[in-house]
Amino acid sequence: MMNKYLYAYEDLASILTKEEILLDEPMRNHTWFEIGGTADVLVIPNSVDKLVQIIEYVRKKDIPTFLIGNGSNLLVKDGGIRGIVIKTDKINGITVKEDTIVAECGALLEEISKKALDASLTGFEFACGIPGTLGGAVFMNAGAYDGEMSFVLESVRVITKDLRVITLKKESLEMGYRTSIIKTENYVVLDAVIKLSPGRVEDIKEKIDDLTHRREERQPLEFPSAGSTFKRPTGHYAGKLIQDAGLKGYQIGGAQVSEKHSGFVINKDHAEAKDVLNLISYIQSTVLDKFNVELCTEVLIVGED
């Protein structure tokens, strides 16, 4: 099929180097699931200024656009993504000043956690094992081990739908369980200020080591996945419901319910997106039938069939 967005290549080349623009790029190369069809155009800017210029360009040209960070919470369908995908993981500056950290949208949470440790700042330990970027974490109010982004954010700088660059204070972020105003209003995160507290390096490191051990012990990190497949239903744990439904190890095509943690759907054997989607649907219908509990996906599902 003809790539209808080839014309954008030359336009984007005035903003980016040609090495930063990829045509008909397999999205399996850019997701932790290692699954997904091709993106018409994938761009990898290395600065906030370039990102702003790209957003201005695609909005003015009305080109469908999708942003990704580290691709850790993403399932791209087998038909791929039409339009332009912007990958932000090269926009990853991190600056520490007293008890605050300013991080750009593509900075890895793990790297921010290390910077906090080095500066004897506590409060960000919960994110040490979340494999995403700051932009994605703010977008979905990522959290783990009784911590979440809403606890530590002071402000976020974004691009609005009408191409204004504004700063949102914490009280304006409307953060809830796996959501925020960034998500509901389709804003683009540029950078954020994280507010932490002074602590003892030994205590911070001990907590990070403990959380890392718990993650490695309980999660199927040896297989490609997108992390927890489902949101936590009120009053329940998704993994336990799936296990109690007898689905641990259940497999469709190359996709499997992890035998290590039933809350994870893994790419066990060269799975396609359709295998994962069929397995997710089967899990949802089985759990609803057995326990009358609706499971909603936490993994972001995008693209065409």
49 vs 34, 45, 156, CA distance in Å?
A: 30, 9, 16
Cβ neighbourhood burial of 264 (10 Å; 0-12, 13-18, 19+):
buried
Q: Is 178 a catalytic residue?
A: yes
Overall pTM > 0.85: yes
3 state SS for 132-180:
CEHHHHHHHCCEECCEEHHHCEEEEEEECCCCCEEEEEHHHCCCECCEC
User: Catalytic residue among 72, 155, 180, 228, which?
Assistant: 228
Looking at residue 18, the DSSP 8-state letter turns out to be G
Q: 94-217 — its CATH code?
A: 3.30.465.10
Q: Which residues neighbour 62 within 8 Å (Cβ) at sequence distance 6 or greater?
A: none
DSSP 5-17: TTHHHHHHTTTS-
**Model confidence pLDDT, tens digit, residues 215-263:** 999 999 999 999 999 999 999 999 999 999 999 999 999 999 999 999 9
Q: Where are the domains of the chain?
A: 7-87, 94-217, 220-302
Active site residue 113: no
By the 10 Å C-beta count (0-12 exposed, 13-18 middle, 19+ buried), 246 is classed as exposed
Closest CA to 82 of 188, 161, 183, 3: 3
For 261, the token pair is 């943690």
pLDDT number for residue 2: 78
Tokens of 22: 């990829």
Tell me the two tokens of residue 78: 């087998």
From first to last of its 305 residues, the chain has per-residue pLDDT tens of: 678 999 999 899 999 999 999 999 999 999 999 999 999 999 999 999 999 999 999 999 999 999 999 999 999 999 999 999 999 999 999 999 999 999 999 999 999 999 999 999 999 999 999 999 999 999 999 999 889 999 999 999 999 999 999 999 999 999 999 899 999 999 999 999 999 999 999 999 999 999 999 999 999 999 999 999 999 999 999 999 999 999 999 999 999 999 999 999 999 999 999 999 999 999 999 999 999 999 999 999 999 99
Q: Is 171 exposed, middle or buried (0-12, 13-18, 19+ CB in 10 A)?
A: exposed
Catalytic entry in 178, 215, 232, 259: 178
Predicted pLDDT of residue 146: 86
Q: Which amino acid is at 195?
A: K
Judge whether 219 and 261 are in contact, CB under 8 Å. yes
Q: What is the pLDDT of residue 119?
A: 98
Please tell me the predicted confidence (pLDDT) of residue 22.
97
Q: Which of 25, 125, 148, 298 is catalytic?
A: 298
Residue 72 backbone phi and psi in degrees, to 5: -85, -15
User: Is 228 a catalytic site residue?
Assistant: yes
The reply to whether CATH 3.30.43.10 applies to domain 7-87 is yes
Query: Quick one: which of 238, 241, 239, 218 has its CA closest to 291?
Result: 241
CATH class of 220-302: alpha beta
